[in-house]
Amino acid sequence: MSVRVQTADFDIGAECRRLAASNDRAGALATFTGLVRADDGLVSLTLEHYPGMTEREIARHVENAMARWPLLDVSVVHRVGRLVPGDRIVFVGTVASHRKHAFDAAMFLMDYLKTHAPFWKLEERRQGSTWVEATVADQHAAKSWTRGR
């Protein structure tokens, strides 16, 4: 299990190769990569976080995922700092023997990352900067995992 919060970019291929080689019983590797969209003239996206709580909170959800599904390995990388459109923000990779577990765990982790991990996004546009607001859709997605999705 690997959880990293960092300013540096990550290499999706390198993360995948490491995860795919992690266990003889691996039959499925599911990944998600979040990117900075070039919405409405976005100049930059700056991610603030709570050092100390961020890593611990993500690790807690990874442990929950590993308890809920028979996962063989998990990797989460989340960037912080100033990013620009097209940049990679977050990577979630899950390894299991079978694809349903890998897919479901990756979705679960993203839904919990979006609603529990202490990051805040500041969008910079030519007219000024605004804080992104949390969405009801994300809250519902996270809650749905407690109803046995």
Partner 1 sequence: MKLLYFAWVRQKVGRSEECFPLPEGVSTIGGLVGALCARGDGYAEAFGDPARLRAARNHEHVDFAAPVSEDDEVAFFPPVTGG
- Contacts with partner 1, residue ranges (CB under 8 A): 34, 47-50, 52-53, 56-57, 78, 89-90, 110, 113-122, 131-134
Q: Which is nearer to partner 1, 20 or 32 (CB)?
A: 32
Give, in degrees to the nearest 5, the angle at Cα 24 between 3 and 27: 80
Minimal distance, residue 115 CB to partner 1, in Å = 7
Distance in Å, CB of 26 to partner 1, minimum: 25
**The dihedral formed by the CA atoms of 102, 105, 109 and 115, expressed in degrees to the nearest 10:** 140
Q: DSSP 3-state assignment of 89?
A: strand
Q: How far is the CB of 50 from partner 1 (least distance, A)?
A: 6
Question: How far apart, in whole angstroms, are the C-alpha atoms of residue 42 and residue 58?
Answer: 27
Closest to partner 1 by CB, 22 or 145? 145
Minimum CB separation of residue 70 from partner 1 in Å reads 24
- Please, what is the minimum distance in Å from the beta carbon of residue 51 to partner 1? 10
Alpha carbon distance 74, 71 (integer Å): 7
Three-state secondary-structure class, residue 58: helix
Asked if 58 and 113 touch (Cβ cutoff 8 Å), the reply is yes
Which amino acid type is present at position 123?
A: E
Q: Nearer to partner 1 by C-beta: 98 or 116? A: 116
- Residue (26 or 85) nearer to partner 1, CB: 85
Please, which residue, 6 or 17, has the CB nearer to partner 1?
Answer: 6
